Chain A
């Protein structure tokens, strides 16, 4: 054994080395793909598919979409949706949208194919999360990420279990923003859709950042448009005690005019209406695009901030008297009075 490295052994070794695989591709994209495959494998164990049987589904049909031939973009599809295991003994967090409506039965299927009847407990519509409970034990739960270290640009992934519960889906992207929806959510460009909402948003190490949420039929984004949100795990843990006790938080009743203002154009003494939300209170009251709101309930307003400050003193259902300027057929700004019954902000 003294001459382990004889000439022939050395050439064998050389031959081996030269043939030694650059087996896997070394570029960052391939490396990322391999990392994400491992993430999916690990994380999928904590992702469940959910089947819901409903009596009534008021959230299921969107309809403010521009084209009726693409209604399915705004309609809840039939079939399973996704949820995430939150405790070993069977608490499951999912998007409130997934289990909203008059629900008759909820069935959960875990990664090993077992089916469970689930109880729908509390939900927080302001966070778009809901809590389910199944009777089980030793379920795998994901570790939590350090949210105070989260940064814009962080690579993230989403695992879902729809439309095929047996083949978990994988979407990836970055954190587009770390504080949205009054700091309750992160924003990501990883695609969110009806299929994966309720699934976990995770880091490349498989730690949970939050639960994907906020896919709403009435908004124009979502459905894989590149703008999606996840409710931070810290927020979920804050809400958990209440949810466990079956206490629910309805959508924050935020008095809503139903218009998007145009910000910043000078020389305009008032708030310019850039968009009027379809089927919203502004539209009902007769507000139109390009209207300039100059007064609300007797108070002169020049900026959106001023207008919002007045709105915050009102309640949903209050009728406000607006003074606006609207260009007539001759193009002349004419003052008009418009009454709007404040709605409940769905956004």
Chain B
């Protein structure tokens, strides 16, 4: 059979036919090309973001603004006010801790007189999908110290909206990119070269060593973006909560008309004159959409509201049972997620007693450090000052907030309490007279 027809149109067609029908012989080259394409993408991201990486103490950070705003974990930088940080390559700068959120493990530093510093943008963590490629930049095991070259690892997004306790990651991005001690505070970067998370935790349950087993968690960029104004304003930031309401998971058969598990969360209890009631909610309402996110279980609910700063107003969609029509009607409202001033004040309380100071959030075992002393409160009267460390209440040795609360159980307003306080390296005795708790209807302070 003649395979070489006379006409050129036919021969072109034959060639085209061969090219299209012979994938196998071209496969190897095609594969290498595809791999080279992906390789280029990875190189491009690394080149773009490496310069903005920052070495901080035993961990990492990332610069997100040319003026030198640096994001990191609270457990990396929250323990000191001033830091000497180095960018990739080794250039050193002075930086100050400005804002922090201990519960969610985020801290913001500012380079003193920073200008034209290498930086990367915050990306959209809500646009992430399971399977997306991500790159982690960090300093595991301090391998980069000296050369000031960070470590790069590559992986995918394994899960989203992960809620973890202790410390609380509300809405974490889970990744299998290898993250190890020293990566904390460093960026998780999407393939568009933007920061979609700050790495901070790994699961070490398998093999029980402090080495990654393929599960790492990052605080998402969208949560951080919402908190940025609060961080820049300075001091401690608080996460949002639905003030005035107790919620339960849908499908709870102890209540009527709570829908199916996964629909959302329903209002199980409500207090008058609170943000929840002022927003028009009543008991039985099923919240199924909070700013576009479905609170499919309690963890997710706490994750959604906690990923907004206290004081934010969020759009909530809810279903209310219409007994007459025997069906749910859909409503929408706006709800204020807690008041940061109240939260600050609330911490000046222990149970029924008002003490007039807020504790600082050190992970020290020494005692309760006084952060802020309220004007004209029991602490001010007692002569407590910011920076004091309370070590004893009466005869009880107090190492942390838990001990402090325990020491005050059973004490009454008006009772004189002897404190042993450490100030400037010296111990001193002070007496504080607690007052009656002022603010009604506040949820119990959550242990950090």
Rounded to whole angstroms, the CA-CA distance of A333 and B10 in the bound complex is 92
Once A17-B20, A154-B39 are accepted as A-B contacts, the answer to whether A221 and B180 lie under 8 Å apart by CB is yes
Once A5-B13, A173-B154 are accepted as A-B contacts, the answer to whether A265 and B57 lie under 8 Å apart by CB is yes
B152 and A331 form a contact (CB under 8 A): no
- Within B1-46, the residues touching A (CB, 8 Å) are 1-2, 5-7, 10, 13-14, 17, 20-21, 23-24, 27-28, 30-32, 34-35, 37-39, 42-43, 45-46
Q: Mark B131-169, 1 if CB is under 8 A from A, else 0.
A: 000010000111111010111111000000000000000
Once A4-B5, A24-B23, A333-B425 are accepted as A-B contacts, the answer to whether A66 and B208 lie under 8 Å apart by CB is yes
A65 and B209 form a contact (CB under 8 A): yes
Once A1-B2, A2-B5, A153-B154 are accepted as A-B contacts, the answer to whether A31 and B34 lie under 8 Å apart by CB is yes
A226: CB under 8 A from chain B? yes
Taking chain A's interface residues, is the majority helix, strand, or loop, or is none over half, making it mixed? loop
Rounded to whole angstroms, the CA-CA distance of A226 and B215 in the bound complex is 11
B42 and A174 form a contact (CB under 8 A): yes
B23 partner residues in chain A, CB cutoff 8 A = 20-24
A333 partner residues in chain B, CB cutoff 8 A = 425
Rounded to whole angstroms, the CA-CA distance of A252 and B289 in the bound complex is 62
Determine, out of A48-56, A137-145, A158-166, A175-183, the stretch whose residues face the partner at the interface.
A175-183
A174 partner residues in chain B, CB cutoff 8 A = 42, 152-154
Option from B20, B81, B208 in Cβ contact (under 8 Å) with A20 = B20
Nearest chain A CB to B51 CB, angstrom units:
12
Pick from B24, B50, B84, B207 the residue with the most CB of A within 10 Å: B207
A227 and B152 form a contact (CB under 8 A): no
Nearest chain B CB to A277 CB, angstrom units:
12
Q: Mark B81-95, 1 if CB is under 8 A from A, else 0.
A: 111110000000010
- Please give me the residue from chain B that is nearest to A23 by CB atom: B23
Option from A16, A73, A152 in Cβ contact (under 8 Å) with B207 = A73
Nearest chain A CB to B72 CB, angstrom units:
12
Q: Mark A56-95, 1 if CB is under 8 A from B, else 0.
A: 0000000001110110010000000000000000000000
Determine, out of A96-104, A230-238, A256-264, A314-322, the stretch whose residues face the partner at the interface.
A256-264
A204: CB under 8 A from chain B? yes
Rounded to whole angstroms, the CA-CA distance of A274 and B367 in the bound complex is 20
- Within B39-98, the residues touching A (CB, 8 Å) are 39, 42-43, 45-46, 50, 55-58, 79-85, 94
Rounded to whole angstroms, the CA-CA distance of A235 and B143 in the bound complex is 20
Nearest chain A CB to B136 CB, angstrom units:
9
B32 and A152 form a contact (CB under 8 A): no
B427: CB under 8 A from chain A? yes
Once A31-B35, A35-B31, A331-B366 are accepted as A-B contacts, the answer to whether A179 and B209 lie under 8 Å apart by CB is no
A220 partner residues in chain B, CB cutoff 8 A = 141, 209-211
Option from B42, B80, B145, B151 in Cβ contact (under 8 Å) with A265 = B80
A286: CB under 8 A from chain B? no
A263 and B422 form a contact (CB under 8 A): no
A227 partner residues in chain B, CB cutoff 8 A = 140-141, 143, 151, 178, 180, 211
A38 partner residues in chain B, CB cutoff 8 A = 28
A34: CB under 8 A from chain B? yes
B389: CB under 8 A from chain A? yes
B199: CB under 8 A from chain A? no
Once A1-B5, A331-B367 are accepted as A-B contacts, the answer to whether A35 and B35 lie under 8 Å apart by CB is yes
Rounded to whole angstroms, the CA-CA distance of A34 and B35 in the bound complex is 10
B37 and A28 form a contact (CB under 8 A): yes
B212: CB under 8 A from chain A? yes
- Within A1-56, the residues touching B (CB, 8 Å) are 1-2, 4-5, 13, 16-17, 20-24, 26, 28, 31-32, 34-35, 38
Option from A70, A151, A153, A221 in Cβ contact (under 8 Å) with B208 = A70
Q: How many chain B residues touch the partner (CB < 8 A)? A: 73
A187: CB under 8 A from chain B? yes
B39 and A153 form a contact (CB under 8 A): yes
B391: CB under 8 A from chain A? yes
Option from B7, B83, B135 in Cβ contact (under 8 Å) with A264 = B83
Nearest chain A CB to B278 CB, angstrom units:
45
Q: Mark A237-276, 1 if CB is under 8 A from B, else 0.
A: 0000000000000000000000010111111000000100
Rounded to whole angstroms, the CA-CA distance of A28 and B36 in the bound complex is 9
A23 and B151 form a contact (CB under 8 A): no
Once A28-B35, A189-B178, A221-B141 are accepted as A-B contacts, the answer to whether A23 and B212 lie under 8 Å apart by CB is no
Once A227-B143, A264-B83 are accepted as A-B contacts, the answer to whether A2 and B151 lie under 8 Å apart by CB is no
A309 partner residues in chain B, CB cutoff 8 A = none
- Within B206-258, the residues touching A (CB, 8 Å) are 207-213
Rounded to whole angstroms, the CA-CA distance of A26 and B30 in the bound complex is 9
B43 and A151 form a contact (CB under 8 A): yes
B154 and A189 form a contact (CB under 8 A): yes
Pick from A65, A151, A175 the residue with the most CB of B within 10 Å: A151
A4 and B10 form a contact (CB under 8 A): yes
B151 and A176 form a contact (CB under 8 A): yes
A194: CB under 8 A from chain B? no
- Within B342-397, the residues touching A (CB, 8 Å) are 366-367, 389, 391
A105: CB under 8 A from chain B? no
Option from A13, A177, A204, A226 in Cβ contact (under 8 Å) with B17 = A13
B143 partner residues in chain A, CB cutoff 8 A = 177, 180, 187, 227
Rounded to whole angstroms, the CA-CA distance of A331 and B145 in the bound complex is 31
A223 and B207 form a contact (CB under 8 A): yes
Q: Mark A187-229, 1 if CB is under 8 A from B, else 0.
A: 1010000000000000011000000000000001101011100
B209 partner residues in chain A, CB cutoff 8 A = 65-67, 70, 73, 220, 223, 225
Rounded to whole angstroms, the CA-CA distance of A5 and B81 in the bound complex is 81
B35 and A266 form a contact (CB under 8 A): no
Rounded to whole angstroms, the CA-CA distance of A175 and B152 in the bound complex is 7
A32 partner residues in chain B, CB cutoff 8 A = 31, 34-35, 38
A34 and B57 form a contact (CB under 8 A): no
A123: CB under 8 A from chain B? no
B150 partner residues in chain A, CB cutoff 8 A = 177
B46 and A332 form a contact (CB under 8 A): no
Nearest chain A CB to B380 CB, angstrom units:
24
Nearest chain B CB to A267 CB, angstrom units:
6
- Please give me the residue from chain B that is nearest to A205 by CB atom: B32
B31 and A31 form a contact (CB under 8 A): yes
Rounded to whole angstroms, the CA-CA distance of A33 and B143 in the bound complex is 30
A153 and B178 form a contact (CB under 8 A): no
A223 partner residues in chain B, CB cutoff 8 A = 207, 209, 211
Option from A31, A151, A153 in Cβ contact (under 8 Å) with B30 = A31
Rounded to whole angstroms, the CA-CA distance of A154 and B141 in the bound complex is 21
Rounded to whole angstroms, the CA-CA distance of A178 and B179 in the bound complex is 18
Nearest chain B CB to A158 CB, angstrom units:
14
Rounded to whole angstroms, the CA-CA distance of A332 and B58 in the bound complex is 25
A-B contact pairs, 11 of them (CB 8 A): A4-B2, A5-B10, A5-B13, A17-B20, A24-B23, A205-B32, A220-B210, A226-B153, A226-B178, A226-B180, A332-B427
Beyond A153-B42, A154-B39, A177-B150, 5 additional pairs, beta carbon < 8 A: A173-B154, A174-B42, A205-B32, A263-B84, A265-B83
Q: Which 9 A-B pairs have the closest CB atoms?
A: A226-B178, A225-B211, A31-B34, A266-B82, A31-B31, A1-B2, A189-B153, A265-B80, A153-B42
